[in-house]
Structure 1
Amino acid sequence: MSLLPKAPDVSEPPHRDSRQPAITLDRRDGPYGEVVLRRRGADLEIIANGCFLMDTADGRSERLLIQAALDELTAGHSTAGHGTADQPSPAELSVLIGGLGVGFSLAYAAAEPRWQRIAVVEREEAIIGWHRTGPLAAFSAGALDDPRVEILHTDLLDYLGGPGTNSYDALCLDIDNGPDWTVTDSNSGLYQSSGLAALQRRLNPGGVLAVWSAQPSTAFEQALRAAGFTDVHTLEVAVARGVPDVVHLARRA
């Protein structure tokens, strides 16, 4: 059930076009703060804990998050499609997506048959509901009902540090505006040594970590290398205004 609206103090990325007024569609209070779904013109946007998180205006970088991880995993495999002891066949890959968001990453992963297991960690019950029965269902395109997809309603840090033993070929994270711009203070630990060690434990040997960010972070690249990740590099996605969106990539040795 929606709560009465109140004006959030929204911090927006520098490339965000806020010339059109925003209309609040739903607002919920949760254990991590307030989460809001708004419409701005033809686009929907999510505000989490008073911070602009993402919108439906342009999903290129969210799709690149998934495609870049897949490209890294399949690079070097033979045309016969067989894996090795350390790397799976590119026809039977698994991915964990951190953050359901507006659904671009999930829909893109579900459209690729090589992902045989797709888990999505989302801590906001409201966002899951907006995809199941609300306006965001159009953007996840029925992927929540795909038998390969599992929606995990939990905090990513809790999941990584929990008792489960599931591991993945790719971890694709989009829970913040980047390592240097977290939605909640507690998320900062994910990008530091303890969080990176937890991510490595959830990756299969040779697995790929992909992290979306609204701006490049050389400090995060250095942290990845210090944590023992290899093949650390960054892909850029040009935006209409301001610095490019990026995807940070690294591999478990």
Structure 2
Amino acid sequence: MDRHDGPHGEVVLRQYGDTLQIIANGCFLMDTSDGRSERRLVDAAREALDLRERPEASAVPRPRARPAVLIGGLGVGFSLAHAAADARWGRITVVERERAIIGWHHDGPLAPLTAEALADPRTEIVESDLVAFVNETSDTFDALCLDIDNGPDWTVTEGNDSLYTPAGLASCARVLRPGGVLAVWSARPSPEFEGTLWNAGFQRVRTEEIPVARGVPDVVHLAVRPG
């Protein structure tokens, strides 16, 4: 349907039957066939925040501001649309480095999937490389939902590898407020990455499997920045 050569290589939008697929440098990223694990990425982060915010039985509940979420990767828009459909989220910031993908959502074939979310005043789309963004921004968030690769062990470009190292995870922690949640989507579990999360100082590290129609379950790696 469309093809662009950008600073990070080739990005293609392809149609297969009723399904739209995004391919980057020949590597399949995601498609519109399912989306349950991308939605679960957002819900798992929200549930982890709910546990943090649950008051003690003897305490008097205090009103809290709605949490801000940073979504790394726009893709076909499942995570964004799902977050925007949840009134419990406050500010929703999406970082996407591919201008072509952003364009497909604004006035292209992917627009029907995210038009309502993009019109939501809580939503902001930032055209930036997420690796650079978490190192440079002065903003902070309650949750970071990371979905820019096929997982910590299967990155789209070599430059993304650094994000899953202790130094990269320290940058992720830097943009999280105390008690903030990091949720990382992956096409397969990575026990080694769990260890890296612990070694980077995160707490309550766990991995949740999400059954999908295409076979091997996707997973969400979850971790909490210490309060």
TM-score (norm 1): 0.85
Q: CA RMSD in A?
A: 1.4
- The alignment status of 1:145 with 2:119, answered yes or no, reads yes
Q: Which letter does structure 2 place at the counterpart of 1:202? A: V
Deviating 4+ runs (over 6 angstroms)? none
Equivalent of 1:132 in 68, 82, 106: 106
Q: Distance in 2 between matches of 1:207 and 1:109?
A: 16
Partner of 2:48: 72
Q: Distance in 2 between matches of 1:46 and 1:205?
A: 35
Q: Secondary structure at the match of 1:115?
A: coil
Q: Secondary structure at the match of 1:39?
A: strand
Q: Distance in 2 between matches of 1:97 and 1:71?
A: 16
Q: Distance in 2 between matches of 1:225 and 1:75?
A: 19
Q: Pairwise mapping of residues 85-234 of structure 1 onto structure 2 (< 5 A)?
A: 89=64, 92-162=66-136, 164-234=137-207
Q: Which letter does structure 2 place at the counterpart of 1:70? A: R
Q: Distance in 2 between matches of 1:195 and 1:145?
A: 32
Q: Which letter does structure 1 place at the counterpart of 2:79? A: S
Q: Secondary structure at the match of 1:45?
A: strand
- The alignment status of 1:30 with 2:10, answered yes or no, reads no
- The alignment status of 1:62 with 2:38, answered yes or no, reads yes
Change (3 A) 1:81 1:36: farther
Q: Which letter does structure 2 place at the counterpart of 1:133? A: D
Q: Distance in 2 between matches of 1:117 and 1:71?
A: 17
The count of aligned residue pairs is 222
Q: Distance in 1 between matches of 2:193 and 2:132?
A: 21
Displacement of 1:144 in angstroms is: 1.4
Specify every segment of 5 or more residues in structure 2 that has no aligned partner in the other structure, as ranges. none
Specify every segment of 5 or more residues in structure 1 that has no aligned partner in the other structure, as ranges. 1-24, 84-88
Q: Distance in 1 between matches of 2:196 and 2:183?
A: 14
Alignment check: 8 A CA contact 2:83 2:89 kept: yes
Displacement of 1:241 in angstroms is: 4.0
Displacement of 1:81 in angstroms is: 5.5
Q: Distance in 1 between matches of 2:94 and 2:20?
A: 20
Displacement of 1:114 in angstroms is: 1.5
Q: Which letter does structure 2 place at the counterpart of 1:92? A: R
